[in-house]
Amino acid sequence: MSLRSLATAVLFAALVPFAASAATVDVFEGDISFDATTMTGTITVPGAARINLSFEAGHPGGTALFTIDNVSTTPVLVEVVSYTVQQGGSAYGFFGGVDVWFDGNLVESVPEGGTSVGQPILNTVLGAGVDSSFSFEYGAAFGSLPSDLDLGIVATAIPIPAAGFLLLGALGGLAAVRRKKS
């Protein structure tokens, strides 16, 4: 193998890591659609969403259900990074309190008039085309001020390991050197 062929192979191998490092994924603002009549919403991922629901006195109890839908072609890590149940003791809140659910599991029961500033790291991995859910079940709203339910969700694509690209680049470099040699 000549010095020139070796230098070409080393240069090619040195450039491959830069190509592999470009495979990072940015978090963009997600699409949120919410129907206030049925209290259901869809969050399209990958992306991020911050949702605030405010309930005036007299609003009937029910469920605010968010379906988290992975419309990408790769697996996505979905994290509920924060949720808040804001009630004001006996002044305002939800009769019977609020139950917080994630993927069919009860996360927390907030009593009537109580407040919770949950900073959980609730997460799940969604395959391509798979969905998940987060919901608040609440009683009828009462009091002089609105009661609030807030939700923050971040979803990021799970990157393909760069090692595969590095291996393919190295094999391609060796094949090019061998082909040039013969």
- Across 67-95, average pLDDT: 85
Q: What is the rounded CA–CA span in Å between residue 68 and residue 107? A: 17
- Across 77-89, average pLDDT: 86
User: pTM higher than 0.85, yes or no?
Assistant: no
User: In terms of C-beta density within 10 A (0-12 exposed, 13-18 middle, 19 or more buried), how is residue 45 classed?
Assistant: buried
At the top level of CATH, the class of 26-158 is mainly beta
Q: What is the pLDDT of residues 106-142, one digit of tens each?
A: 989 999 999 988 766 678 888 888 888 888 899 998 9
- pLDDT at position 171 over 80: no
Q: What is the pLDDT of residues 14-55, one digit of tens each?
A: 433 333 222 222 223 345 666 666 666 777 766 777 778 888
Q: What is the pLDDT of residue 117?
A: 84
CA nearest neighbour of 21 among 181, 151, 159, 139: 159
CA nearest neighbour of 32 among 42, 20, 47, 45: 42
- CA 121 from centre of chain: 11
Q: Structural domain boundaries of the chain?
A: 1-24+160-182, 26-158
